[in-house]
A and B are shown apart, each in its own frame.
Chain A
Amino acid sequence: MTHPSDNTWAPDPQLLGAYFDGELDSRDEVADLRARIEAWLEDHPEAVQEWQAQQRLRELWDDTAPIEPSAETWDQTLDAIATKSREAKAAPARASAWVPLGIVAAGIVMAFGLAWAAWHLTQRPIKSEAAPRAEAPKASPREAPNREDEVFPVATSEEIVIRRIEGADTDVLVVGRPPVDGPMELAAVEDIRVIRTQSTPNNQRPPAVRTGSQRPMIVAE
């Protein structure tokens, strides 16, 4: 299939990589795109070098495949998995055995507390509204418990999804589309290279690119 009216068209390098990876094979919905790329490749034999380089990297990769551990090592690993997973599952169970006792103890303490508070309320002398407030003890910051002493784990990295990061006070840019999941990929100024800009249908002016900023902000004007 040829596209004589579209001589300027060229596949994006990433799309070309997907083509060489066979990602467009046997998919009817991209048959036209595949044919278009193949036609383009006929006119651009130099692009096949890209494929050859990809192939050489593949050969290098295959040639350096990790050596499998010994059977003994696998057995030791499996034993460790069985033991540690049993322990990990038992830990919350042991903890949960104390929960009913804890609830009873908390209930007793709360009942005593309420009784004590009620008794104090009935015994407290009625004071006028104008009573000096200076008598109230001031809490000293030094007496306050140090909340940084104990850290409670509330979530693992796998349980957190970052949906947005404000960029005003950072010198990096989160890469990817929100919500960002898994390890966060951050780009600094030196990691970003503007390859192409294009205008939107509503605005025919291409975005202006300004370099030299300390922050990797992408600004459309």
Chain B
Amino acid sequence: MAVGILPLALSDESLLSRAVAGDREALDELFRRYRSLAYRVAHRLLGNEADALDAVQEAFIKALVHLPSFQGRSSFKTWMLRVVSNAALDLGRRRGRHETLSMDGLGQKSREECEPWMQIEPARELDRQDLRCKLNEALAQLPPAQRQTFVLHAEAELSYREVAETLGISIGTVMSRLYYARQRLRILLEPWIKSQ
């Protein structure tokens, strides 16, 4: 089987076009470039690996199937982040509605989420995992739009302008959402922030 060499310098847009046309290597490269960023954003919005991977999968499928909605108006990165964060919020809403029916299921999921950490570094990671669960709980208490804005800024390290472009909102709205998200998080995480 002949294996083509894909230039690393190929733009995201070129890779996307090739991937849409069925070029598996282009898809591999595009996925390699953005999987980690998309996963981290989705994980912060959903709080666990399985759901975050579902959101990443959904976002990449949307990118490949609905290419015309991209239209090159923004960078692929901001477009992908918008799609993945929206997919994560949608998924969270769907799963959330289901999980409210069974609080036991939710508790079980939290424990499962904690286990991999404990297995990797048993002693030191316990505190960090506790912190992580508290942060997830605090994030979950933010209104979805605030959570999305905050995660795009803090995790994807987008500037205010990039967040505004990604979400189609004004920079003033970004400022406002970030301010209120931080205020809320500081209140909810006060004991852990003080002990830092």
Chain A interface (Cβ < 8 Å from any Cβ of B): 13-15, 17-18, 21, 23, 53-54, 56-61, 63-69, 73-74, 77-78, 80-82, 84-86, 88-89, 157-158, 175-177, 181-186, 191
Let me know if B65 and A89 touch, CB within 8 A: yes
Number of A-B contacts (CB under 8 A): 126
Answer whether residue B6 sits at the interface, using C-beta atoms and an 8 A cutoff: no
Q: Which residues of A contact B40 (CB under 8 A)?
A: 65-66
A5 → chain B closest CB, angstroms? 27
> What separation, in Å, do the CA atoms of A147 and B24 have in the docked complex?
44
Listed by A's residue number, 11 A-B pairs whose Cβ atoms lie within 8 Å are A17-B178, A21-B178, A60-B189, A60-B192, A63-B128, A85-B65, A181-B168, A182-B169, A185-B143, A186-B143, A191-B143
A74 to B39, CA, bound (A): 10
B28 nearest in chain A by CB position: A78
A17 to B179, CA, bound (A): 7
Give the Cβ gap from B187 to chain A, nearest Cβ, in Å. 11
Question: Looking at the complex, which of B7-15, B50-58, B95-103 is the stretch in contact with chain A?
Answer: B50-58
Q: Is the CB of A81 within 8 A of B64?
A: yes
> Number of contact residues on B: which range applies?
35 or more
Report which B residues bind A (CB closer than 8 A). 22, 24, 27-28, 31, 35-36, 39-40, 43-44, 49, 52-53, 56-57, 60-61, 64-65, 69, 82, 86, 89-90, 116-117, 120, 128, 131-132, 135, 143-146, 148, 153-155, 159-160, 167-170, 173, 175-176, 178-179, 182, 185-186, 189, 192-193, 196
Inter-chain contact B49/A69, CB cutoff 8 Å:
yes
Let me know if B131 and A74 touch, CB within 8 A.
no
Q: CB distance A185 to B193 under 8 Å?
A: no
Chain A residues closer than 8 Å to B89, beta-carbon distance: 183
* Given contacts A58-B154, A66-B52, A67-B116, A158 and B86 within 8 Å (CB-CB): yes
Which residues does chain A contribute within 8 Å of B148, judged by CB atoms? 182-183
Closest Cβ–Cβ distance, residue A113 to chain B (whole Å): 37
A88-B61, A88-B65 given as contacts; is B193 within 8 A of A56 (CB)? yes
B132 to chain A, nearest CB (A): 4
> Which residue from B36, B53, B120, B145 sits with its C-beta under 8 Å from A73?
B53
